[in-house]
Structure 1
């Protein structure tokens, strides 16, 4: 378990070494291969646009959130007439397989590479390989921690602060809260935790009783929340850094209600907000992230002058505005 002090001291992360050595033996978990071209053109249509291939590597294929990311990418690929190849490990903790998938796409000679990294600081080897092969790399959803790699996604620290503000109002600015996070080696989860805990420390009389990390699925969340609440029975609120984790926690809340807040505007989480199981979520649209990632890559390919990062809007959704949000999105 992480204490707040330990978390603020940082999490050490280690990159990969030579990840190509055994590529012939790698079993790739291929979620989908989207071969999406635009409308048929004349024989004089440019070869570049006909064959432009974007390799996409995600963290997982196990949640509604990631399916919405893929849907956004598919729509953008159709709109821009490009090919998108999407690979995904089964688990958000399988960093080794994810890196082998990245190496495989580099070896295939894709024109661009988009990665949502399992380890934000573990990218040195594949960044070097991509650079050697002239392949631009982009990060989405979760930032690759390198100064010159673009990022497409929300401001995760801002999302954490917004949810902490909601939590403070719900609890009157007093009491203990806990954080159950995904992998803190991923910058998105780490930034959400930082934003949340910083706001609590700076603006309230509340205490973050624990930061428990490494959970991104329903089964682990249900098991761990029972243990954590037995150890911390006075905790009145929980911040889960992903919706899939929050949905697992909800089963515990039927017997031991707490204020529950989370991130990700996937449909099952929005329904939980409407029904009162989740009190607030920071709306990160997977579809928008997917679409904007492909759009950004194409605009860069075409020479547009763009900022290094494309930061997307994040909105705090509660029972009061969830219906309006669903209508608009």
Structure 2
């Protein structure tokens, strides 16, 4: 529960900020609307869609939102510190490394209203998580791989980093579905190890990370093509990974010879599905992440704590996009962005 003392401390912080502005001779036209922040875990097209949703919700509610797109773990931590210092009314953050950010997240939770979105930090004092079940989404992605390779084959996974809670769960779900295991979201296969299905049909060669470095992401794909000439499928688990796979395959004249399975809704990925160069992608709803984050923060800031679900999880289910449902999905996505 957000206590009266908690709200009072935020009010005092705001009063001190405005008083300091007056002493410094700042204009009295400062924006006095409630101020919220939507903090991503990097810079990507996925987050542009989420930002549009957060701004739409802020406009409807008559509040202000600052979208913060940090460059790595250190930058995200520093920017969270800055937001706390500013006396922000609420923060929705996608933690880059929840295990190592508990201190800063709890500091934010003490100073303001804190929720997580996209990737959770369940050990922190955040009030709620808005997003999807990443393990379930990974299972959906793995099923796409099996659909693309009914006779089996060699598969490589590509992802930005594995520090994040969502990345670990997404990857593991994908692996478990490909090799046909009983689902277990607590399982963790080592990133560098290969995983072979019991029937020997599917061999997951490993998981290559790039730390959000687009050049490295492409180089990883090219290295995999060279090292594994019999590779059958490549799976990109972050939004920019499928486009990197497609570009590297085209450059090496392997486009159409290796099955591509994606995650998220980058336009290059969607175009590849339309062109027959990717079988499908599992999409989140970043627009709704942004929209629901601000909507929930506004309600909590107004004392509407009854809006919190009992399990503190606002579920935004993933979807599988293939050629048959691509047109409608793409049209709706473009419309949302055009409207905002």
Separation (CA, whole Å) in 2 of partners of 1:184 and 1:273: 26
Q: Tell me if 1:69 matches 2:54.
A: no
Matched residue, 1:8 = none
Q: Tell me if 1:181 matches 2:159.
A: yes
Q: Tell me if 1:214 matches 2:210.
A: yes
Matched residue, 1:304 = 306
Larger Rg: 2
Q: For 2:98, what is the secondary structure of its paired residue? A: coil
Matched residue, 1:58 = 40
Q: Deviation per CA, 1:223-270, whole angstroms, max 9, x where unpaired?
A: 111112211222201111113111011022231231111211233332
Q: How many residues align?
A: 278
- The residue correspondences of 1:257-272 to structure 2 (distance < 5 A) are 257-272=257-272
Separation (CA, whole Å) in 2 of partners of 1:131 and 1:253: 45
Q: Tell me if 1:103 matches 2:81.
A: yes
Separation (CA, whole Å) in 2 of partners of 1:162 and 1:300: 33
Tell me if structure 1 keeps the 8 A contact 2:171–2:237.
yes
TM-score by structure 1 length?
0.78
Between 1:278-287 and 1:177-186, the stretch displaced more is 278-287
Specify whether residues 130 and 215 from structure 1 end up closer, same or farther in structure 2 by C-alpha distance, changes over 3 A only: closer
Q: For 2:261, what is the secondary structure of its paired residue? A: strand
Separation (CA, whole Å) in 2 of partners of 1:131 and 1:138: 8
Separation (CA, whole Å) in 1 of partners of 2:49 and 2:239: 13
Tell me if structure 2 keeps the 8 A contact 1:265–1:286.
no
- The residue correspondences of 1:161-240 to structure 2 (distance < 5 A) are 161-202=139-180, 205-240=201-236
After TM superposition, give the deviation of residue 76 of structure 1 in Å.
0.5
Specify whether residues 243 and 56 from structure 1 end up closer, same or farther in structure 2 by C-alpha distance, changes over 3 A only: closer
Matched residue, 1:282 = 282
Matched residue, 1:140 = 117
Q: For 1:320, what is the secondary structure of its paired residue? A: helix
Specify whether residues 68 and 125 from structure 1 end up closer, same or farther in structure 2 by C-alpha distance, changes over 3 A only: same
After TM superposition, give the deviation of residue 88 of structure 1 in Å.
2.1
Q: For 2:324, what is the secondary structure of its paired residue? A: coil
Matched residue, 1:80 = 61
Q: Deviation per CA, 1:89-130, whole angstroms, max 9, x where unpaired?
A: 2x3xx2111101001101111111111111121222213322
After TM superposition, give the deviation of residue 215 of structure 1 in Å.
4.4
Q: For 1:228, what is the secondary structure of its paired residue? A: helix
